């Protein structure tokens, strides 16, 4: 995504924030002026802002081909993400949804996070703790170590890989499609469709 597209996305989100805040405030005031307090109005407004501003940007998605069941398949996927604005996003409440057109699955955080600085991406020990039902994390930029220590994204400079391990029987082979949705809570989900490219090299870019 180029700079103009990024600015457009941010502007769109902010515009939507203001519209919804105005709509919520007007609705509350019109329908129940006497019973609503200023604190209640502030709480509702803050909930709307939190929901819209917890927006994660997908920077890149990388996969690795391995020989599985006699053919080259991608069973390890790393998704590089960062937030657009500085806000606390609890990774333990994040889910990853996978759909290949036949199977739908929800993955949950397994509580394991490491740093990319200690090992290479696809050989990191964090992979050993990931099952077919869970995902792990590798921080790339994290000034206060909040991702590793607290499983928390709290700055717009934070950046991390989400690590997924696909079962052997559903691992991606050439031209296979996989729909991936990252769903923070609160926040706006991001969905991308991945296509496995020609396996002319082991590590391949699936999205950028």
pLDDT digits (tens, 9 = 90+) for 45-73: 555 554 454 478 899 999 999 999 899 99
CB 12 within 8 A of CB 149: no
Residue 134 · residue 109 · CB < 8 Å: yes
Mean pLDDT of the chain: 83
Which is more confident, 191 or 49?
Answer: 191
pLDDT recorded at residue 137: 97
What pLDDT shows up at residue 187? 75
Answer whether residue 13 shows pLDDT above 90: no
Percent of the chain with pLDDT over 90: 61
Name which residue leads in pLDDT, 135 or 185: 135
Taking residues 103-132, report their average pLDDT. Answer: 94
Give the per-residue pLDDT at 39. 72
**pLDDT score recorded for residue 32:** 46
- Give the pLDDT score at 135: 98
> How far lies 73's CA from each of 123, 174, 204, 206, 208, in Å?
17, 7, 11, 13, 20
* pTM for this model (two decimals): 0.76
Average pLDDT score over residue span 5-11: 51
B/e letters for 37-58, b = 16+ CB within 10 Å, e = fewer, are: eeeeeeebbeebbebbbbbbbb
Residue 88 pLDDT level (bands cut at 50, 70, 90): confident
CA dist., res. 64 & res. 76, Å (int): 6
């Amino acid at each position: 995504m180029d700079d103009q597209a990024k600015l457009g996305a941010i502007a769109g989100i902010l515009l939507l924030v203001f519209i919804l805040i105005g709509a919520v405030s007007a609705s509350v005031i019109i329908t129940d002026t006497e019973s609503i307090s200023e604190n209640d109005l502030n709480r509702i407004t803050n909930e709307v802002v939190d929901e819209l501003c917890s927006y994660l940007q997908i920077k890149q998605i990388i996969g690795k081909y391995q020989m599985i069941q006699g053919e080259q398949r991608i069973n390890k996927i790393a998704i590089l993400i960062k937030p657009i604005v500085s806000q606390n996003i609890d990774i333990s409440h994040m889910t990853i949804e996978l759909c290949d057109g036949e199977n739908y699955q929800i993955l949950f955080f397994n509580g394991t996070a490491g740093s990319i600085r200690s090992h290479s991406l696809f050989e990191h020990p964090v992979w050993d703790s990931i099952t077919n039902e869970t995902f792990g994390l590798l921080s790339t930029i994290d000034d206060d170590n909040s991702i590793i220590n607290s499983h928390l994204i709290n700055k717009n400079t934070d950046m991390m890989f989400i690590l997924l391990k696909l079962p052997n029987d559903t691992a991606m082979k050439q031209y296979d499609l996989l729909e991936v949705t990252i769903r923070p809570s609160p926040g706006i989900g991001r969905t991308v469709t991945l296509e496995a490219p020609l396996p002319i090299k082991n590590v391949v870019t699936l999205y950028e």
